[in-house]
Structure formats: C-alpha cells, structure tokens
Structure 1
C-alpha cells in the first residue's frame, strides 16, 4: 500500500479554495452578452472604426442635363436627359444601372402586384410608365456608341462598348423619355385639379443612376412603395417648358427670371429676397392676371434651374398658384429664399398663408442647430400629397392647416438634412432618414414661435401600447417588408424616441450634440451605413453604446427598471434595484427627503454587467421620503408600477 504524504495548507488558502469551489458550483452568469459587440464594426480603409470615411473611401457621381416639356392637355411630360457618370471606384464597370421610377405606375409592376387588395398609402395609377427611346452610351469623349440596354420593372441596365475605367473614368448616357403624369402618384407626386386649373407635382420624373458602392455593389432594389431612394450626388442643369401662363418652382436656383417673370414680378422677388416677413409675388386676386405677372401672353415659356451637389431634383408647375416668399438668414451671413405656392383653396392665415413663415423658421433653426442649409431656395408646394421631400422643395397637402401644416412643412424640410445632405440608403434603412428627421423635428417644433406647436414626442410612455404589442416589429426591418400599420413606429417614432433617450437620458445634451453635429458634418454629401453612425457617435461622445444599439435599434425588447425595496443601512439607506427588461439602461434616481428637498443620482449602465440586481448605498443624514426611477419619464419603461418607492405613493 502506497503511503500518502499529507500536506497541511494555511487556513487562508483553504478558505479561498472553498470560496472558489462554491462559486464554481453556482455557475454564476453575468450579462456581458448585453454589452458585447453585436455587429462587425471593425474599421477598414474605406470606413474607419471611428466612423469616418477612410483613406480609400470613394463614391461615384452623376451630373444631369435635362430638358422637358409639359402638355397640359394630355398630362404628358416628355424630353431628354444626358448623364455624365464618373466612376471613382477601384474597378472598371461594363454597365451601369438606372432607376426608372415612373415604371411603378403600370399594371404589372412589382409595386402594383405587391400592393394589398385593400390598398395602402402607396396606391398609384396604373396607366403610366416610361417610354424610352434613342438610348446612347459612350465611354470618354471619343468612345464608341452603344445602344444596348434592358429594362426590368423600375430598373434599367445600360451596357458600354468598352468598360468605364476605374478611379475617375467618365461615361455619358443620353436618351429621350416620356410619361403620363399620374393623378395618384403613390402620395409622392402627381397632379391635382383645383378650381382654377391643375397643379403638377413632378418627382421621380427622369431616369437616374443607381448607387454603386463598396457595400452592395449596385443597389438595385425595385421601387415598390414604402422604400424611398438611394442616389448619387451631382450637379443638375434642367429646363422645363410649360404654357406661358404657368408658374414653375423647382429644386435649386431659377437662372432666367428676366425671361419668365414680368418686370413687376421681378421687382417683388427682389423685395421678398430682403424681407423677413412674407411678401406676395402673386396675390390671390392675381392668379389669372397674366398681363401683370408674365412677360408672354401666348405659347410656351422655358424655366431654367440649377442645383449643385444634390442627389435629386423635383419641380411643380401650375396656372393656379398664389406665390409668396421671404428671406432666410443663414448662420454664415448668407441669405436665401423661402417661398410657397398654393391654390385659392389653400389660402388663409390659418392655412397656407403662413407656409413661408413656417419654411423660413424651419430652415433657420436646423441651419443654426445642426448644419447650414446648402441650396438657394426652400420651396413649399401645396398638392394632393400628404408630405414628400426633395432637395430644397416639398410637396405638402393643400388642405393642411395650423399645427398640421407646421408639422408637415417642418418634417419635409428636415429631410434636407436626412437624407439629402447626409445621403443614407432609404430603401434599406428608413430609420436613418425618417427616424433622424423625426428626432430633429421634436426640437424645432418646441422652438417655433415660443412653442406655438409643441411636440409631445418626449412623452415616450404614451407609445407603450405599441412596445408591449406582440405584433411590433424591429427598427432594422426594411421599409418594404414592414407591415404598413407598423411603419410609422418602426421608421419614424421608435428611432426618434431612441435618440431622445440617448440625448436626454444617457449621454446628455453636450456630448450628444457634439457627436451628432460631427456625424452630419463628416458624412455630408456622402453615403453612411448604420455602422458609421454607431461608430462615430461612440467615438465623439466617448461612450461604448453597443448595449443600446443592440437593444433598441437591432432588438425588439423593452425597458423595465424597478425598485424592489429600500431599507435602512447603518444610518443610511440601501436602494435595491432590479432590471426586469430585455436590455440594460442607466438608472436615474430622484430622492425626496422629509424636508421636501430633492437629490438626483445617476447610476451607470455598468451596474447591470454582473447581474440583474443592484443595491445602491445612499449616504445621507436626512430622512428619506421617496425615491423614483426616471422622474422625467424619458425612457419607455413599460412598467410604471415599480418605478416609485414607497408604492403607496401611486395611490
């Protein structure tokens, strides 16, 4: 029998071993999975880990020259487009893809065939679509012409006789096009019959180049309905020929006012350009007085516009417009023009007569708060469209009044920052467009005219019926996939509420604003992806927010922080907390003492790293009366019943 030597261990070491064994038996879990990375957000030469474009970042460009004419008897818009395409990518391109969005308005389009029988907001006419002729494509100034192309639904592929060279190669594509302007244009464009004539709201009206990027290659999702647009930046020079008695407003600057406006109208325009209050260009009484307002009294007239560094253009034309304007003051000292056009049906101080006032205030606020507005005009157009945005031009419903008109005007102008200046992919990430814009609208509305139309968005718990509904969907859903009944929450409200919580509850105003303004400036006129936003906000704000991005933007769970008990502890108090929600959040406590004084304590999110309970030692010589979580009710905590101690105070 082998003799075993007994080794006597010190008592302290025995205790440590015993403690370790007990811990190992319990197998205690932590919550580190909530705090870890949930996406591959590592940087590379194209997009850095700090959320900036990398040294190898590139994006292609498209410049447009367009000439069109409107036949107001047949409602047909016809013309020609010439596109100069610059391939800045590191690879040669044998072809390019274009978007033909008017092809949505045909009976067999994918958008028509995927519209529910009961219909939705994106119903549209089906007697339209593009007629495309005389297609030519050429690489460089002396390349061979090619006319090879194919059209598939709302996409058009054009081939070249030779590849477009990488890193700066240029190609030219031209074609003629025509389409019947739909009366119902999916609540984005169309035409409206009013007492004095027709209003044409023209958008998605020319063949436009799809984005080619290092993430997806060609972004060729079809135009179905809810998914909006993803477009390259470039310069636009366009001419619109209309009957002599029409007024045209469009994205960018009117280049030939002396050819299309009477001397009297030119003088009024100069006056409006230096006035902080609204000036009539065409009064309600002058709608049909072409002798006063137009230089010609028969035939047609051509209106010429230009806009630079834009991703799209739109215009409106009618013989039935009231027209007014005022000066916009920008932070740099530059002044530009706010203007509105609307029919007699929209006239009135409780309605569209205040549109230019609203437009001016909206543009001035966002320019001062976030980033200066870059275009020469900001135009609001009354049409039969709930609200739709284009660079420097909106379509808003002609029946809107008061708070409704302010809200839609401010929202659509807010889109000039997201996604017109910051060029995100609306077809995939509606929350980077609608959500960010809804967020900035909250502050603009509260600032307008001393709070004339205050926003209730910060009352986040009024949305808890949605957050607790089993049919809710996540922010990361693509818009065309999302149930249209949920789209307003998924694309607009939930991401906006998330940013409000981030600013007002998690980071604070200074850190958030520094980061958000830096994000806008960094990605102005570029194409950020979700990771670029996440990385940039973290790096500038100095905070790892993986737990928040994962829980709120890429999760479908809820917040539920609670107080389980408060107990005396050595002359002080222990406030015992629990996290019953699906992801962690910091805990803001407000303590009220018997003498009615108050104290606030913010516990960091890291208290939940080791588990779902935490005890906070409140050191005080005073007698506690009550303690409450999130006293301002900024978070969407779904359970009010455990926010306050003692619970009797709820009664």
Structure 2
C-alpha cells in the first residue's frame, strides 16, 4: 500500500464540470450566504482597504512619571503621577477621559453590582475600595489650574480650559492619589500571605489616559472585569519606595541596581546577563536573612524605566527567591529572563524551572514573529492566576510542570498580542487571547522537543459548537456568557487560525501574511477589519466565507459522503463520488480514497466546490472498485457530525 497527496485546483474542477457526469448537483443550497462579500468598509486615509495603516494614520501618546510608595502595614499604595499627553489627532480636544480601573473595587461600582450572586473570577469579592484622588492639576500653555472633573464608573472626564490643539498639542496632568490593594483583585492584582511574608502584585493601578482613535473617538467602555485594557503607547519613568527588606520587580529596566542590591547580588546580576543557565540573585537559603538586603536605610527606592509600552505593573515582597538567565534574541541582542517566587513554590517540577520557561518562550516568539522589545522579562508567582503586562507577568504560585509552562508561555505570548500589536481588548478579546493561544501551541511543540506538547485536532470544540452555549467570536468579553470565555475568546479563534495555516492557506502563505499584520500594526491600534484585509491581501486568497462563518456567525460544519458509483458501471473508467455540505459553515474538502487493489490517495478540493450549492460530484480516476471514502481523515476541520464522513463498500 502507499499514500500520496494530490491537490485538485479550481481550474481542474471547472474543466470537469463541463461533463454531465461531474455537474454540481442541487440548487436548494444552505451555504449561499457563506460566499456573500464580507463588507469590511471602504478604506480611508487612516486605514487602507488593504489592511495597512493609511498615509494619514495617527494615534495619540501618553508618557508617565511616577513617585510611588508602598505601605505594607496598610496594604496601601500612594502615588504622584505626572502624565504628558500629546494630541496627534486632526481634531482639537475639549476634554480628556482617564481610566481609573481601581474603582472597580468600590462596592458601589458597576463591576460590583454586575457580579453574579454566585461569584465570578472577575468579580468584586466583598472588598470596598477604589482610587482616592487627593489632588489633580492641569498645566496647559504654561498655566496650571485645577480642572472640573466628572467620574463615570471607572472613567473620569477632565475638562480643559482651552481645547487641546490638533496635530501635536500637549498638556500635562499631575494627580496625587492612593488606593488599598485588594486581597483578590479580579485576577489582575492582589496580595498573598506566604511563610516568609506578603507578596503584592500591583496592576491597572494608576490613572491612564483613555485611547482617542479614528474609529470611536474616546474609547470609554468601562472596566467591568472580563475586558482587559486598551491603551496608547508611551515611555514610563518611575520609582517605587518600599521597606528595605522588600524586593521590587517591575516593567522595564532597573536603573539603580547599585542602590538596591548588595555587592554580591550585583555580581550575580551581571553573571546572569551572560548565562544561559539560571543564576540566583537571591537563593532559597538567603530569603529573609539580614545579608540578603542592603540595610543602610529603612526604605529603599527602586527606579525603573521602559519605552514604547502600553502599561506597567510591579510586584513587591520580602519573600522572593530571585533567579535570572540571559535571553538570546535575533541579531545577537539579548534580554534578561527573571523569576521571583516564594519558598513554597520552589522545586524542579515547579517555579525553579520558571526562568527556563520564560527564556524558551521568548526566544521562540522572537524568532517566529518579532524580536522581544524589552530589557527584562519577569515572571512573578502570586495570587493572580495569569495576567500579562509589558515586561512582567503574574502567574499562579501553585502552578507546576505543564501548568506552569502553559501559563508562563501564554502570558509572555501576550507581549506580541496585544503589547506590540495594540488591539482593543475591551471589545475584541479574541485579537489577543485567540492569537496568543494559537502561537502558544507552536511554542509548546517547539519547547524542549515537545516536552509538554499534546496533539489535538479541529474537532476539540465539537460538543460546544453543537450546544446552545455556542457564541460568536465577535462577542465583547463582558457580554460573553459565564463559562464561555475560554471557548469564545481563546480556543475557537485559535482553532480557526490553525485551520487557516495548516489546511486553507498553507504555512508559508499564512506565516508571511501573519507576520506582515504584526509588522504593519506594531505599536499601533488595529481593528478586526485590518487583520482580515491584511491576511487576504498578502496571502492572495479571498476569505470572506471564513471570516463570516467562523468568526462572525455560530454556524457549524457537516460534510458527508453520500454515494459512490462508476462511469458506465465500470470502476476502471472512474468513480463518481457524491458529497454534500449539510450545514452553513463551509470548508475545503479533503478525502481519503482507498481502492480494493490497495491503492490509497488523499485528494483535496477547494472550498469553492460549494459556490453554487451544497452538493458536489467529483470524478476520481479509479482503477478498481472503491473500498472506502473518508472525509477529513486528518481531522483538520470541525465537522460536528463525523458519523456520515465515511462511505464503505462493506456497508
């Protein structure tokens, strides 16, 4: 026996269709809607119809300076933040909207009131506290003043005395505020008590300027928990003052290691930057000892900076083991992988391998996609199950083995989507979670020769696709039904991208288009249409049927083999194989044909066989009787009714 693959192109099908024996059957199609043009809107000077930014594309920017203090005795953070905001839009702005995500944790917040009585991963768990603003000052055209403000949930409107001029107008805001770190902050931040002390993870924690863009103007969708964030890019220079026995890790480069590390730790820090093996900055035996921290004052100030980032986050504890290793990047560049975790999380099946995981993940994505852009990559063990920010991620302190690899790889995959490609997570969770879940599978297959890789196929979601719970990928995250977020935002879009890469476009065409999308929209704000149009224009394939059927609708796929007969009843003159598409979702056709003489062949037909209807008959050049025909033998497509995929002469 032998197997070969033959691709039957549309041109060949058109020629075959001239014969009555191969004419497409039936006009009562259920699939015609799939092939209607998918309207993505006309191009503008800001966004071209090809999916690329237009010649007049613009976006605003915000740079931040901060002076932060951690008060562990009160679990409190105080901060004085200065925001330098630039209006690059073609319109003057009469006001500015700020995001105050910490207000989610006020008991009167919308998020608290919308938490189901049964509780929720993103709900407010009986904590009362939001941002307390002590002072806000605007400086504009050399004049400082206290603005009129109005709060609306997790947003605050700041009225300007004079409109902020278009195409380069600048304004400065200074805000003094405080908040209490909740015990559990909607799986974004929180605090964890360990044997050696409290671990604080602090995120979505400072007033941030909302995005003003060419799509919606001010993006003011509130923070309710499930939707993450959408921010402009800028630089951050900030300092965090904490008790001297605390270690503080944060987004970006540590600017003053000589002030916050002992001489021995500084030497280990330098060694780690040139080592592919883990180097302890603070070993398990050193945690909590007098010698582990500089003691020249009661408090130490850690200074950090990061460029071209959407956000920053940080963590602090006296309980941290701290290790690090070099990340090798393309072009002989490098970054530094670091992990901080309590003694409870140490071990060769747990967080003692974290830095290895960080290094492996980032090196893969830097080769497959785009070079990692930040000087450090920090993995923090704490109460947060898994959350990402530029240069730093939070993962569960309980995670081990495949679970720890999976969450580490996933959170660092987010550096590319949405930290580099700055999509709107409040509206389109699939543009970061789905893309990231897709690349995670590739990374896991690559890491340590597939140590944690488990083969799956496109039918993994069949039960959900067939259920009443099935929702559209395009559903906004805060509207997705409870228990559905993983399927809607993560797994269904990831399965779709795998189909697109492996079975529709092919790996070479897909990778070229996918990387072009990343290059076009790096540090910019794409919409779904920008992604769809880029993939089509670069690959050279019309995919309206795919975007509609898989992303927009909740259609399902059911291909079937209906019958096999022979030309003039003679197998040596060819077999006539009739197939059908019984649901509205269309996909290409892959058939494995086995003859009685033992010859086995896989043939592929393009999705256009369903252009005119839901039945098709194709002529196969058989030389003996057909023993078996199987649709989708490699389980490449989400056929929800595989029972009718096989025709057998024995039946």
TM-score range (shorter-chain normalised) is over 0.9
In 2, Cα distance between the equivalents of 1:272 and 1:597? 58
Superimposed CA distance per residue, residues 361-403 of structure 1 (whole angstroms, 9 cap, x where no aligned partner): 0000111011111001111000011101111111000011001
* Residue of structure 1 in register with 2:574 after alignment: 572
In 1, Cα distance between the equivalents of 2:613 and 2:170? 58
CA contact (8 A) 1:339 1:356 kept: yes
> What is the correspondence of 1:27-46 to structure 2 with a 5 Å cutoff?
31-46=31-46
In 2, Cα distance between the equivalents of 1:555 and 1:146? 49
Of residues 348-357 and 147-156 in structure 1, the stretch that sits farther from structure 2 once superposed is: 147-156
SS at match of 1:332: helix
Cα deviation, residue 476, structure 1: 1.0
TM-score, length-scaled by structure 2: 0.93
* Residue of structure 1 in register with 2:600 after alignment: 598
SS at match of 1:515: helix
Superimposed CA distance per residue, residues 533-562 of structure 1 (whole angstroms, 9 cap, x where no aligned partner): 000000011111000000000000101111
Which structure is richer in relative contact order (CA contacts within 8 A, separation 6 or more)?
2
CA contact (8 A) 1:590 1:600 kept: yes
SS at match of 1:518: helix
CA contact (8 A) 2:67 2:79 kept: yes
> What is the correspondence of 1:491-530 to structure 2 with a 5 Å cutoff?
491-530=489-528
Q: Does 1:611 align with 2:609?
A: no
Of residues 442-451 and 355-364 in structure 1, the stretch that sits farther from structure 2 once superposed is: 442-451
Of residues 593-602 and 205-214 in structure 1, the stretch that sits farther from structure 2 once superposed is: 593-602
Cα deviation, residue 44, structure 1: 1.5
* Residue of structure 2 in register with 1:589 after alignment: 591
* Residue of structure 2 in register with 1:5 after alignment: none
Of residues 508-517 and 624-633 in structure 1, the stretch that sits farther from structure 2 once superposed is: 624-633
In 1, Cα distance between the equivalents of 2:399 and 2:114? 30
CA contact (8 A) 1:41 1:535 kept: no
Report the CA distance shift for 1:33/1:582 in structure 2 as closer, same or farther (over 3 A). closer
In 1, Cα distance between the equivalents of 2:116 and 2:31? 43
CA contact (8 A) 1:145 1:160 kept: no
CA contact (8 A) 1:290 1:297 kept: no
Where structure 1 has 5 or more consecutive residues not aligned to the other structure, the ranges are 1-25
CA contact (8 A) 1:98 1:155 kept: yes
Superimposed CA distance per residue, residues 458-478 of structure 1 (whole angstroms, 9 cap, x where no aligned partner): 323232110100122111111
* Residue of structure 2 in register with 1:106 after alignment: 106
Structure whose CA Rg is larger: 1
CA contact (8 A) 1:52 1:532 kept: yes
SS at match of 2:477: coil
In 2, Cα distance between the equivalents of 1:461 and 1:40? 29
Q: Does 1:443 align with 2:433?
A: no
Superimposed CA distance per residue, residues 310-330 of structure 1 (whole angstroms, 9 cap, x where no aligned partner): 000000010000000000001
CA contact (8 A) 1:129 1:179 kept: yes
Cα deviation, residue 28, structure 1: 6.8
CA contact (8 A) 2:29 2:614 kept: no
Cα deviation, residue 584, structure 1: 1.5
SS at match of 1:341: strand
In 1, Cα distance between the equivalents of 2:84 and 2:598? 70
CA contact (8 A) 2:248 2:317 kept: yes
In 2, Cα distance between the equivalents of 1:116 and 1:93? 38
Q: Does 1:184 align with 2:184?
A: yes
* Residue of structure 1 in register with 2:265 after alignment: 265
In 2, Cα distance between the equivalents of 1:648 and 1:273? 66
> What is the correspondence of 1:135-534 to structure 2 with a 5 Å cutoff?
135-140=136-141, 142-291=142-291, 293-456=292-455, 458-534=456-532
Cα deviation, residue 625, structure 1: 2.9
SS at match of 1:45: coil
Cα deviation, residue 31, structure 1: 4.9
* Residue of structure 1 in register with 2:559 after alignment: 561
Q: Does 1:552 align with 2:550?
A: yes
CA contact (8 A) 1:588 1:601 kept: yes
In 2, Cα distance between the equivalents of 1:179 and 1:442? 39
CA contact (8 A) 2:563 2:579 kept: yes
Cα deviation, residue 112, structure 1: 0.2
**RMSD of aligned residue pairs (Cα, Å):** 1.5
Cα deviation, residue 43, structure 1: 1.4
SS at match of 1:237: strand
In 2, Cα distance between the equivalents of 1:439 and 1:455? 14
* Residue of structure 2 in register with 1:12 after alignment: none
Superimposed CA distance per residue, residues 212-231 of structure 1 (whole angstroms, 9 cap, x where no aligned partner): 01111100111101111000
TM-score, length-scaled by structure 1: 0.93
In 1, Cα distance between the equivalents of 2:188 and 2:578? 53
Where structure 2 has 5 or more consecutive residues not aligned to the other structure, the ranges are 1-25
In 2, Cα distance between the equivalents of 1:27 and 1:397? 55
SS at match of 1:266: helix
In 1, Cα distance between the equivalents of 2:432 and 2:243? 36
In 2, Cα distance between the equivalents of 1:430 and 1:29? 33
CA contact (8 A) 2:499 2:636 kept: yes
SS at match of 2:332: coil
CA contact (8 A) 1:78 1:178 kept: yes
CA contact (8 A) 1:30 1:610 kept: no
In 2, Cα distance between the equivalents of 1:596 and 1:270? 65
